[in-house]
Chain A
């Protein structure tokens, strides 16, 4: 009786992510503000922002077209699907839509592309600039992500995320194996780049020339902007959640019993908030890299991922 179904678990993940995400962003901003000696807006400020934006009218500049209203919905759909698929709370997955990492990456990329098209559609210099930078980074992150996934998938023989995380829960030794560590570090850098955090992009910049993500959404307002913000925050939640569950797999529900799921929810909330605070604290000490130094960072993370793969072949993981 006290068990959930798989769709139930996914619903918990999606609703939980939607509820937690603004808080996570609030905690990250508040941490940063306190460390910089500012008072900050409080952890619920992002919530209030979204509510305010949803009530306001969106403006449409002359010459912009359908992407202005389509992109926000595309982005949030892609982010919500990713939240449903990624094993945040538990490792169960639907039979017909397994949480295959290639599918997850492709769904994420759909959101990336929608954003890039939104940037181009505005017909301004800033939009095109943001879009071009955004796609360049996305193109260069792709090899790291796929090779890191490849490294993680070799020991378990599948690219399904839930299987990878479940294997790590059962065999904690694999978490600290060189293969696991290298792949997770590589994936971590890729996640920072993919979600537009420092040192790749500065989410709180107000200078148009340094913007990447913000430049693309300059023309959006009202509920369009609300969905865009929530959509990109959700990407952070999902990817950071995946990363912490790979690095510290304990607490993830491997069964569907109610108690395990509750424990899973509590575990991921704690893990995410702590990870968010650590990321925010780290960002205080970081400056944004010059755009043309970013490829070097990404090349570094690619090398780590590549080493992880060859290591798993040559020193051999579990067959």
Chain B
């Protein structure tokens, strides 16, 4: 038995253990036992993924022969991750382990119920089997397991808040639309090739119209899971309403399965696609990146902000994939390989920092009961660990040195500016637009995360709840610290990480330089974050010496008030809030966001000229959701209303229906 198949068998066993623990353990110990089992399941997945990534034993895995009495040409189910699958298996496992540890301390109420933990185990198992699956049937089974587990988890708080039900409806509909598209896409491929295993499909080399139909269907399905515009609408609804460790796992790992799916389709199953596939993907990805970050930058609900930022990051990942495909089509293999590596680096980096960000948002919610940035503030003083870890992860999300996000975005930009557009007019137009949009996205991400961190953790508390915040339990803090360490670690050592990922996706020309740095000879560029830190330390040293000498002579003195133009009113309500922070941006992008503003002025009784109160309300809605989905929702509801007319509750009518149906069936049988 190879390492990979042993690992997959272990995962199945551990998932069973977690299910048993979740259902049988007494309520007092349930979170500990089930959480530990889920964490074990995650670790098993991560280790299996790493083994599969190193590619020691290709094709090894767990084979389950099935024979259905239908005469369908099914090949045996095969759970054998290839090297690319190994990357995503390792990623899902690591995220699952961290979020499960966090869940031990965080889950309360419905999230800590029997069904809550059981669904979490099922969700993790499904997520880890998706990249392990090597044939269509097991892929779809794993995909649906993941979808069902996450839907149950999302429903956890439905008793407490009515929004949860709405969010779950959106999620369930979108996720099943995604499943149907995938089913259709794979059905086309299976019909063309006559086999259900990925190896058979890839070997057949499908091309022509049926390949394009299959690709578009698969892209639609995977894009829905990945949260690309315009099928992102479930993200900003589902992520805020789910328990935070679940949103972390969904955003950091489950959404990545959509990315995995796109890579599976574009690299493994249908590698010889025409250029317009890549063009279509690029347009969708750029729109997602820009729209996602624009919505995130004006959002005030912390978890909604993070959800939109997920759309942005998935957009950037798929920009890298699309550029890699375009360049590969144009014969520029070395640069295409760099872009592909950038895609995987961005994926891993996003998983690391988004886990921490969602867990941090959960810690804030746990401590204050608030998700609204406008009512937070000053949390750095009462929640130091959360503040530190959230800060590090926010740096990662803003792609600043020396975090994982920086290294990944650097590789992406290097691949973008070295694509040669001199011979190819399409590239000459697409690449500069791509660079510009990626740059604007990076700039807005900077503002978004300065806002998220600065408004929540710095300044003075904007509500009593924020004033009385407190740090979460030990397991919560441990999970966040682990995630933050990963963000910094991946940022300090881009070389080994990039080299490993490049190998997994079959890209060449990514080299480790020095101990931890990365070198890209194809584009003549090099990045060694450790050396950068050393340089910074050297230039900082004399400054620190002067600083300390000055500090000895003139120590810091505390004063009461900040500068208020001579005024002494220090109400925390005078501070900038998240809404006001993003106000200039809302004005600049007025046409794209179309915010609605209400200003209500109420006058004092004595005189119309005296103002007693001014109310200002601003709402920024998701235009895509409003314009594209509302008509569909209305039409569906209309059909439902119409259908109600034929079922009016009269028993005679129902008997009539039954009779008619019986007659029709008899006719059909005897015909």
Contacts and interface: CB of A to CB of B under 8 A. Distances in A.
Given A55-B553, A81-B536, A113 B410 contact: no
Contacts of A126: 563, 565
Given A123-B378, A123-B458, A142-B443, 15 more contacts: A55-B554, A76-B540, A80-B543, A100-B527, A103-B527, A112-B446, A113-B450, A117-B453, A120-B455, A124-B564, A128-B459, A132-B584, A154-B417, A157-B418, A306-B436
A186 to B, nearest CB: 12
A60 interface: yes
Interface in B559-607: 559-565, 572, 574-576, 580-585, 587-588
Contacts of A142: 439-440, 442-443, 446
A295 B436 CA distance: 15
A131 B581 contact: yes
13 contacts: A54-B546, A55-B554, A73-B547, A76-B543, A81-B535, A81-B539, A96-B528, A102-B413, A124-B574, A131-B454, A136-B585, A139-B443, A139-B444
Of B401, B458, B560, B581, chain A has the most CB atoms within 10 Å of the CB of B458
B118 to A, nearest CB: 42
A123 B460 contact: yes
Interface in B406-457: 406, 410, 413-414, 416-418, 421-422, 428-429, 432, 435-440, 442-444, 446-447, 450-451, 453-455
B377 to A, nearest CB: 8
B320 to A, nearest CB: 15
Contact of A106 (B399, B453, B454): B399
Contact of B556 (A58, A62, A306): A58
A120 B532 contact: no
B428 A98 contact: no
B557 interface: yes
Given A65-B458, A66-B380, A223-B551, A138 B443 contact: yes
A98 B458 contact: no
B525 A143 contact: no
Going nearest first, the 3 A-B pairs with the smallest beta carbon separation are: A128-B576, A142-B443, A139-B443
Interface stretch (A176-184, A250-258, A277-285, A308-316): A308-316
A135 to B, nearest CB: 4
Interface in A117-175: 117, 120-129, 131-133, 135-136, 138-143, 145-147, 149-150, 153-154, 157-160
Interface of B: 297, 377-378, 380-381, 395, 398-401, 406, 410, 413-414, 416-418, 421-422, 428-429, 432, 435-440, 442-444, 446-447, 450-451, 453-455, 458-460, 513-514, 517, 523-528, 531-532, 535-536, 539-540, 543-544, 546-547, 550-551, 553-565, 572, 574-576, 580-585, 587-588
A103 B588 CA distance: 28
A49 interface: no
Contact of B447 (A58, A97, A138): A138
A126 B454 CA distance: 14
Interface majority SS (helix, strand, loop, mixed), chain B: helix
Contacts of A65: 380-381, 458
Given A136-B585, A143-B439, A218-B563, A97 B531 contact: yes
Interface in A39-92: 54-67, 69, 73, 76-78, 80-81, 84
A222 B554 contact: yes
B555 to A, nearest CB: 6
A153 B417 contact: yes
A123 B575 contact: yes
Given A147-B436, A313-B428, A62 B561 contact: yes
Please indicate which of the listed interface residues B377, B422, B523 has the most CB atoms of chain A within 10 Å of its own CB: B422
Contacts of B432: 147, 150, 306, 309-310, 313
Contacts of A136: 447, 584-585, 588
Contacts of B450: 113, 116-117, 120, 131, 135
A4 interface: no
A37 interface: no
A94 interface: yes
Give the interface centre of B443, B460, B546, B583 by most chain A CB atoms within 10 Å: B443
B581 A139 contact: no
Contacts of B532: 81, 97, 103, 107
Given A62-B559, A76-B543, A219-B563, A157 B524 contact: yes
Given A54-B550, A159-B417, A124 B563 contact: yes
Nearest to A133: B584
Contacts of B435: 146-147, 150, 309
A233 interface: no
B459 A121 contact: yes
A204 B184 CA distance: 65
B443 A223 contact: no
A69 B557 CA distance: 12
Nearest to B590: A292
A310 B431 CA distance: 10
Q: Select the residue from A56, A112, A153, A223 with max chain B CB neighbours within 10 A.
A: A223
Given A81-B539, A123-B575, A124-B562, A143 B440 contact: yes
B522 to A, nearest CB: 11
A107 to B, nearest CB: 6
